Structure 1
Amino acid sequence: MLSAAMSTQELFISAAHKCLSAGKKRLSVTKCLDVAAQLSAVDLGLKPALLYDINSASADQVQQYLSSLQASQLVSKSLLTLELNGNALIVNPISVQSSVEQFFCDSSVAVIDICHSLEKPAITDPDRGELKSMKHDLLLLLRKLTEPMEDDKPQYVGQKSEEWNLCTVFGLLLGYPVTYWFDQTKTFENCLSMTPLVVTTASATWQGDATGHRCCLYSFSIPAILLQEFQPKLDKWRHRLQEKINQQDVLKDLTVCQSTVTLPSVCL
């Protein structure tokens, strides 16, 4: 009877405070609502996955949070928690598989080589050896996620993922139209230092209650020198996102904006 008297936002906040605390520190209400809005976006297929990186909550805690919301019927049972090299993601198995398969079928996602040895970022072939091997392993993993699994447990990715470039993998899993790659077997440094980067941010208003909460759904960067070449992919990505926004009533008022930043070092 308690849940019937609580608003949607209050239920999300309560679950976050109960499950996602790091030590004695609880998430702020704003952070709770940010997670709720992004999770709703994942559930609706507006984004394939949510990378939980707000605090040091474990994958088990993220799973407890997700299970609590599923028990309250706030999100669907199909969502699950994926633990990847110490990182926790909540994924929509069907959406994330479709996103990755689409990348390798129609090259809708651009891959940018940012190896430290390069003078400037450059487009790379998504079928190059390292990426092709990762593609095969990643698709096998994602297809398994659609199979019945043990409830209330995160799905742990095996040791094979230690060979993957997580920067590239996260770009694919999170649905970005562009992702970075570098040869991590040589160094984790990159060539983005003092390189102007165009940051694209997509935000929407979550209608979790009568009072809407504005939330960032996507944020990714592209080297400014490559922006003109990638603009058609960006336009296509934005159009697809707007179409999805128009097909539901939970997140509204999509805004996509760009800004340029130049940093002395870029950690990925």
Structure 2
Amino acid sequence: MSAVERCVAAARRCLRVGRKSLSTSQSLDLAAQVTAVDLGLKPALLYDGNGAGVEQVQRYLSDLQSVGLLSGSLLTVELDGNSVVINVSAASSHLERALTDCSVAGVDVGSSLERPIMADPQTQLKSTLQHLQRLVGDLRLQQPQQPFRVGSRSAGWNLCTVFGLLLGYPVVYCFDQTQSFENCLSMTPLTLTTASVTWRA
């Protein structure tokens, strides 16, 4: 069985929800994204391919690891019902850099604003970055075969900001969710920018 066939088979076997499984293209896209996390090209991946739970995502990773398609260094984290695949080393480096160099920009999209504005990173991102650094530190002690459940410690975390930081985005949305979960982006036209790179092997 080729590596492509193994990736598709693992996704269909481990991530099936009811009768629905991932298509071939979805399976291959997921394998490429997980490989990028495994290689440290990005710190984490938010799994949202279907309704598969964190245990299913963990089985998928273990399946690919058992046939040598992944290194075995990835961890699965459940964060407020969401499954996140994390490369602890890459995430730790990214968060440290973001905290010390202010390499991540925050955009305040609070509902009280007329339009988004740049956030003060020292006030709106620093606390979240410190929480995430502690979380990643705890993950270093975690067994890779078991999902890590963040649980109640994430209460009050702005998941929009958390996921942006964990996934390595250079710009993340911030807003004070104690005031409102609404934002000022309603009816704001979005611009989609796509970048790609090719090289010779």
TM-score, normalised relative to structure 1: 0.71
5+ residue gaps, structure 1, are: 1-5, 206-245, 250-268
Matched residue, 1:198: 191
1:154 aligned partner: 147
* 1:88 counterpart SS class: strand
Do structure 1's residue 132 and structure 2's residue 126 form an aligned pair? yes
Q: Name the TM-score, length of structure 2 as normaliser.
A: 0.94
How many residue pairs end up in the alignment? 201
Q: Distance in 2 between matches of 1:154 and 1:52?
A: 13
Partners in 1 of 2:197 and 2:30 — Cα distance? 13
- 1:109-258 map, 5 Å: 109-128=104-123, 131-147=125-141, 149-203=142-196
Deviation at 1:203, TM superposition (A): 4.6
Identity fraction in percent: 54
- Mind listing any 5+ residue stretches in structure 2 that lack a counterpart? none
Residue by residue, what CA displacement relative to the aligned partner does 1:66-88 show, whole Å, maximum 9, x if unpaired?
01111111001111101100000
Q: CA RMSD in A?
A: 1.7
SS at match of 1:127: helix
Give the aligned residue type for 2:112.
S
Q: Distance in 1 between matches of 2:148 and 2:6?
A: 25
Q: Which moved more, 1:50-59 or 1:154-163?
A: 154-163
The offset of 1:31, in angstroms, is: 0.4
1:79 and 2:74 are equivalent in the alignment: yes
SS in 1 for 2:122: coil
Deviation at 1:161, TM superposition (A): 0.8
The alignment partner of 1:98 has SS state of helix
For residues 177-215 of structure 1, the C-alpha deviation after alignment (integer angstroms, 9 at most, x for no partner) is 10001111222111112323333334568xxxxxxxxxx
Mapped pair 1:52 → 2:47: yes
Q: Give me the whole-angstrom Cα distance separating, in 1, the residues matched to 2:82 and 2:167.
A: 13
Describe the superposition over 1:7-49 as per-residue Cα deviations: whole angstroms up to 9, x where unpaired. 1100101110110011111110010001001011111111111
Q: Which has the higher strand share?
A: 1
